[in-house]
């Protein structure tokens, strides 16, 4: 290191990245050494490595699920100029890719209600070079869009489906059409997209359907994943009986998965742990145990909201506006520094079960990007 390097850098870690949260908080602009020997990979001060970006493309939705939005949907939405433009989003994903992100999930709100979503996926694929592009969707518009999305490089969809009963489905989604979602799932399979099912387990509402949902998904070659209800936004107003720990859901699946298998769950690339079918067929059930068994220690995800706020954690309100930085003319180096700083201050866990911390209760999934 040359003599012209500021003294402060003496305490910085590799690539000029501060070694502690305090250093990160005080380091406002990028030190000279940052990026001088290539872009540093995204890691935080606890050693977690970030490879997976969840990109929210809208805060709007055509459903208003009881655990996600108030009746009638969220009161306020970003207006078009507040949203990241497609070009801005693609530039940021390309930058994230240089920082080690190799998997991008488009989400929302409902990503398929963003106009020209196919063009966005195509632009991100072309500009960032990221090959693993997936989407989480409620499926309501998949029958029209699945083939086009597949053609421009989308590789998979996680479709949210909490019930196979049309009445209950409409109740949970506040008006969603089961028939449209099922048609969307078939279109996605037909378009060669890898399909997974996201099921939010709701005690007293759909937990009696757990086995039926697994059988149905397996019959189509789809992996079902049960998500523990998280006390975010609207869900924090639901009664305690709605919250089911994953072990209770697993017990509803009878002999489909062997009890000893449940203890031998294997980690996936995202937040789910997978348990294999007891019949040796290789089929799986996923469990996203966000509440009963926190997985924050192995978190590999960064979130970018539709407004361009970088959030290090789903449960935290802390955010850095990459959109504003971009619009003020920030270089890639400056943006990369801001991303590192935001992640460096990430806390070890989410406090979902803490009586003192209720920050997460003020942010619904549709606003952060689930
Ligand atoms: N609209 C799309 C959908 O529903 O798939 C994508 C966005 S949605 C916010 C992403 C995922 O978050 C969905 O699978 C949804 O079921 C889940 N989700 C929403 N609120 C939740 C909560 N409070 N707890 C657990 N999962 C939740
Ligand atoms: Fe919309 Fe998805 Fe939230 Fe349901 S979970 S209201 S589909 S964003």
Q: Give yes or no for residue 140 CB within 6 A of ligand 1.
A: no
Which of 109, 184, 199 to probe ligand 2 with, by most ligand atoms within 8 A of CB? 109
The arrangement of strands across the sheet holding 320-321 comes to 266-267, 273-276, 284-288, 223-228, 194-201, 156-160, 132-137, 103-107, 52-56, 301-304, 309-311, 320-321
Which of 257 and 215 is assigned the larger pLDDT? 215
Band (pLDDT 50/70/90 cuts) for residue 10 is very low
Kindly state whether residue 134 falls inside one of the protein's structural domains: yes
Kindly state whether residue 58 falls inside one of the protein's structural domains: yes
- Closest C-alpha among 165, 188, 186 to residue 176: 165
Kindly state whether residue 288 falls inside one of the protein's structural domains: yes
What backbone phi and psi angles, to 5 degrees, belong to 202?
Answer: -125, 110
Token digits of residue 93: 């994903």
Number of domains into which the chain is organized: 1
- pLDDT score, position 215: 98
Q: Where are the alpha helices (DSSP H) in the chain?
A: 21-26, 86-98, 117-128, 142-151, 166-173, 178-190, 210-219, 246-251, 259-262, 322-327, 332-344, 365-368
CATH number for the domain harbouring residue 60: 3.20.20.70
Which of 293 and 292 is assigned the larger pLDDT? 292
Which of 365, 366, 367, 368 to probe ligand 1 with, by most ligand atoms within 8 A of CB? 365
Residue 353 has pLDDT above 90, yes or no: no
Kindly state whether residue 12 falls inside one of the protein's structural domains: no
Q: pLDDT (tens digit, 9 = 90+) per residue, 51-62?
A: 999 999 999 999
Kindly state whether residue 5 falls inside one of the protein's structural domains: no
- pLDDT score, position 30: 77
Band (pLDDT 50/70/90 cuts) for residue 234 is confident
Residue 319 has pLDDT above 90, yes or no: no
Interatomic CA distance for residues 151 and 195, integer angstroms = 16
Band (pLDDT 50/70/90 cuts) for residue 46 is confident
Query: Among the listed ranges 1-5, 271-275, 363-367, which one has the minimum average pLDDT value?
Result: 1-5
CA 56 to ligand 2 centroid distance, Å: 12
Ligand nearest to the CA of 69: 2
Kindly state whether residue 264 falls inside one of the protein's structural domains: yes
Query: Among the listed ranges 74-83, 227-236, 283-292, 312-321, which one has the minimum average pLDDT value?
Result: 312-321
Q: pLDDT (tens digit, 9 = 90+) per residue, 156-210?
A: 999 999 999 999 999 999 999 999 999 999 999 999 999 999 999 999 999 999 9
- pLDDT score, position 161: 98
One-character DSSP codes across 168-211:
HHHHHHTS--HHHHHHHHHHHHHTT-EEEEEEEE-TTTTGGGHH
Which atom of ligand 2 sits closest to the CA of residue 73? 6
- pLDDT score, position 293: 62
Interatomic CA distance for residues 9 and 362, integer angstroms = 38
- pLDDT score, position 121: 98
Which of 56, 65, 305 to probe ligand 2 with, by most ligand atoms within 8 A of CB? 65
Band (pLDDT 50/70/90 cuts) for residue 346 is low
Q: Whose CA is nearest to atom 4 of ligand 2?
A: 65
Which atom of ligand 2 sits closest to the CA of residue 136? 2
Kindly state whether residue 1 falls inside one of the protein's structural domains: no
Kindly state whether residue 165 falls inside one of the protein's structural domains: yes
- pLDDT score, position 190: 98
Q: Give yes or no for residue 137 CB within 6 A of ligand 1.
A: yes
In this prediction, residues 220-226 reach a mean pLDDT of 97
Residue 81 has pLDDT above 80, yes or no: yes
- Domain residues for the domain of 314 are 21-26+39-69+78-368
Token digits of residue 316: 């935290």
Q: pLDDT (tens digit, 9 = 90+) per residue, 107-155?
A: 999 999 999 999 999 999 999 999 999 999 999 999 999 999 999 999 9
Task: Give the highest mean pLDDT range of 229-238, 274-283, 311-320.
Answer: 274-283
**What one-character DSSP code corresponds to residue 18?**
B
User: Are 210 and 244 spatial neighbours (Cβ–Cβ below 8 Å)?
Assistant: no
Q: How far is CA 66 from CA 59, 83, 166, 245, 263, in A?
A: 16, 25, 16, 19, 31
Average pLDDT of every residue of the chain = 84
pTM: 0.88
Token digits of residue 192: 């060669």
β-sheet bridge partners, residue 341: none
């Amino acid at each position: 290191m040359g003599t012209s390097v500021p003294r402060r850098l003496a305490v910085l870690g590799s690539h000029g990245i501060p070694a502690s949260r305090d250093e990160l908080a005080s380091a406002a602009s990028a030190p000279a050494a940052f990026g001088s020997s290539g872009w540093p990979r995204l890691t935080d001060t606890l050693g977690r490595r970030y490879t997976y970006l969840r990109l929210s493309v809208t805060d709007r939705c055509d459903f208003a699920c009881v655990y996600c939005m108030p009746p009638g949907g969220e009161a306020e939405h970003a207006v078009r100029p507040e949203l990241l433009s497609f070009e801005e989003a693609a530039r940021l994903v390309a930058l994230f890719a240089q920082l080690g992100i190799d998997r991008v999930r488009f989400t929302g709100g409902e990503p398929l209600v963003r106009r020209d979503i196919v063009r966005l996926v195509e632009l991100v694929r072309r500009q960032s070079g990221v090959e693993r592009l997936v989407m989480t969707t409620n499926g309501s518009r998949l029958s029209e869009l699945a083939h086009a999305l597949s053609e421009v490089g989308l590789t998979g969809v996680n479709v949210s489906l909490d019930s196979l009963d049309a009445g209950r489905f409409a109740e949970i989604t506040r008006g969603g059409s089961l028939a449209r979602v099922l048609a969307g799932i078939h279109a996605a399979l037909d378009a060669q997209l890898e399909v997974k099912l996201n099921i939010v387990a709701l005690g007293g509402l759909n937990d009696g359907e757990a086995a039926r949902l697994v059988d149905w998904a397996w019959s189509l070659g789809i992996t079902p994943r049960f998500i523990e209800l998280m006390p975010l936004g609207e869900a924090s107003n639901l009664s305690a009986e709605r919250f089911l720990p994953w072990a209770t859901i697993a017990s509803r699946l009878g002999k489909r998965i062997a009890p000893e298998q449940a203890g031998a769950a294997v980690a996936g690339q995202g937040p789910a742990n997978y348990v294999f079918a007891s019949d040796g067929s290789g089929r799986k059930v996923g469990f996203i145990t966000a509440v009963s068994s926190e997985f924050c220690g192995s978190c590999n995800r960064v979130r970018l909201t539709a407004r361009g706020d970088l959030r290090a954690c789903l449960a935290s309100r802390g955010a850095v506006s990459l959109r504003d930085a971009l619009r003020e003319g920030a270089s890639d180096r400056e943006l990369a520094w801001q991303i590192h700083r935001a992640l460096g201050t990430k806390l070890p866990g989410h406090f979902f079960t803490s009586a003192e911390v209720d920050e997460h209760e003020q942010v619904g999934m549709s606003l952060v990007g689930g």
